[in-house]
């Protein structure tokens, strides 16, 4: 989230209304909003990591798989 001095006048007014509605100061509201955004980003990264496909087997792993297969006649 942008810092308070980086907000335009319109953005600052909008965020001030939202903060007042939540019963917070503007600075506290922006800090809370930033904290929530970081948590959501971390959660999204965790989900993306969990969805990553498994790494392919290496040379030795493939060799062991072949060694455990029955002999062909």
**Residues, the chain, total?**
73
Residue 3: the pLDDT is: 54
Buried b (16+ CB within 10 A) or exposed e, 8-39: eeeebeebbeebeeeeeebeebbeebeeeeee
Domain boundary assignment for the chain: 4-67
pTM score: 0.58
DSSP string, 32-50: HHHHHHHHHHHHHHHHHHH
Q: What are phi and psi for residue 58, nearest 5 degrees? A: -85, -175
pLDDT in tens, 21-53: 999 999 999 999 999 999 999 999 998 888 878
**Cα–Cα distance, 60 to 39 (Å, whole number):** 40
């Amino acid at each position: 989230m942008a810092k308070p001095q980086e907000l335009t006048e319109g953005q600052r007014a909008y965020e001030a209304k939202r903060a007042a509605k939540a019963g917070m100061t503007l600075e506290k509201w922006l800090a809370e909003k930033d904290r929530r955004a970081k948590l959501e980003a971390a959660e999204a990264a965790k989900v993306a990591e969990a969805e990553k496909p498994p790494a392919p087997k290496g040379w030795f792993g493939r060799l062991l798989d072949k060694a455990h297969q029955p002999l062909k006649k």
